[in-house]
Amino acid sequence: MAEVLTDLLSALVRLDSTNPSLVSGGAGEALLARFLVDWLTERGISAELDEAAPGRHSVIATVKGSGGGRSLLLNAHLDIVGTEGMTDPFEPVVRDGRMYGRGTYDMKGGLAACLLALVAAQEANLRGDVILTAVADEEHASLGTQSVLKRVTADAAIVTEPTELCVSIAHKGFTWHEITTRGRAAHGSRPDLGVDAISHMGRVLGKLESLSRALTEQPAHPLLGHGSLHASLISGGQELSSYPDRCTLLVERRTLPGETPESATQDIDLLLAELSADHTFHADHRLTLARDPFGIDPDAPIVQAVRRAATRVLGTPPALIGQSFWMDSAFLAAAGIPTVVFGPRGGGAHATEEWVDLASVEQCREVLVATIREFCA
């Protein structure tokens, strides 16, 4: 099986699936999606394309059970980030038990494990269905998962993002905010006429720094720690000898389970209201994007099923962890599907040297197969 897995993962890596929303001219997921449909069809598995937007293809594949059992959804994303600074990013290299190449770790290793687990499900005489959603655009706006969830559901889901063979039951969400301070343009020699929008933004930054410190003083999440906030991008002014009439700041807030986009927005609105006590201060604020945090009870049936399977495969109970970055698991959970994250070991996600531990990909496959046999029996 290790040889089959290595060959399959190599084939996946060789197919450029760079997200075109991240990299202008990126190849997109269509070629890889069609490869998966052909690969699955050749093995007797029903598979079809789902087009979330023009050229943005996901794959839905199903191994039907005999009926009366629980269904399980396996989720992995097809898209990868850019390759600037990499040498031969789509030519996989195996060295010392690792495969190097763009997407090996994030997350074609997990995708390969899902594909082989789906093949094994055909021979398991299951009552429940096993569904694979191999999705587009996770690295940008999650068009793929949002689209396939209009067509499929399940009693539980496993997302095979890398977890170092730990069981991930929580991750942070995020909100993006745009704040614009407004001044009055005037010649630099006329302070009596001008109002400096950039200076006013400095006051906003001070308030945001205080809010950031306050977040670290709140009770920490047991797996995720504290929420956070940072200023990401700032722009303003038109020339050196003029008072700037506008300054715009983009802010990111990382959220914890239980926090909402509404509460994050309200926190910023409150600090702007405090500054508005000065009649010369004027600012607008809008929420531009929000992604919910994710969390599942560690005693949930799917969490316990994955832990039991991983304990048998690995020889020791896997750790329960939380992860700081956002994943499509939040969308699955929001759709009412109890979800857990479990994937291989590796490193270099979004970096110029990316790799996955091949033995861990095989162990991930074995854990998926064992979970399927228990959960969908």
Q: Are β-strands 156-159 and 72-77 bridged in parallel, bridged antiparallel, or unpaired?
A: parallel
Q: Are residues 347 and 203 in the same domain?
A: no
Q: Are residues 181 and 163 in the same domain?
A: no
Single out the residue in 268, 291, 314 at which a domain terminates: 291
Q: Are residues 297 and 287 in the same domain?
A: no
Q: How far apart are alpha carbons 327 and 171 in whole angstroms?
A: 8
Q: Are residues 125 and 177 in the same domain?
A: no
Q: How far apart are alpha carbons 34 and 49 in whole angstroms?
A: 8
Q: Which domain holds residue 148?
A: 2-171+293-375
What residues have CB less than 8 Å from 270, skipping those under 6 apart?
Answer: none
Q: What CATH number has the domain bearing residue 286?
A: 3.30.70.360
Q: How far apart are alpha carbons 291 and 39 in whole angstroms?
A: 33
Single out the residue in 252, 268, 291 at which a domain terminates: 291
Nearest of 175, 282, 275 to residue 232 by alpha carbon:
175
Q: Are residues 315 and 341 in the same domain?
A: yes
CA distances from 306 to 72, 167, 224 (A): 12, 8, 21
Q: How far apart are alpha carbons 33 and 309 in whole angstroms?
A: 29
Q: Are residues 265 and 318 in the same domain?
A: no
Q: What CATH number has the domain bearing residue 99?
A: 3.40.630.10
Q: In angstroms, how far apart are the furthest CA atoms of the chain?
A: 83
Would you write out the chain's pLDDT as a tens digit for each of its 377 residues? 666 999 999 999 999 999 999 999 999 999 999 999 999 999 999 999 999 999 999 999 999 999 999 999 999 999 999 999 999 999 999 999 999 999 999 999 999 999 999 999 999 999 999 999 999 999 999 999 999 999 999 999 999 999 999 999 999 999 999 999 999 999 999 999 999 999 999 999 999 999 999 999 999 999 999 999 999 999 999 999 999 999 999 999 999 999 999 999 999 999 999 999 999 999 999 999 999 999 999 999 999 999 999 999 999 999 999 999 999 999 999 999 999 999 999 999 999 999 999 999 999 999 999 999 999 99
Q: What's the domain count of the chain?
A: 2
Q: Are residues 139 and 200 in the same domain?
A: no
Q: Are residues 285 and 301 in the same domain?
A: no
What pLDDT does 55 receive?
Answer: 94
Place of tokens 């050749």: 42
What pLDDT does 20 receive?
Answer: 97
Q: How far apart are alpha carbons 144 and 138 in whole angstroms?
A: 7
Q: Are residues 340 and 212 in the same domain?
A: no
Single out the residue in 291, 322, 356 at which a domain terminates: 291
Nearest of 236, 272, 240, 266 to residue 253 by alpha carbon:
266
What pLDDT does 153 receive?
Answer: 98
Q: Are residues 261 and 371 in the same domain?
A: no
DSSP string, 339-368: EEE----EE-TTSSS-EEEHHHHHHHHHHH
Q: Are residues 283 and 302 in the same domain?
A: no
CA distances from 353 to 17, 79, 139, 362 (A): 17, 17, 18, 21
Q: Are residues 200 and 62 in the same domain?
A: no
pTM: 0.94
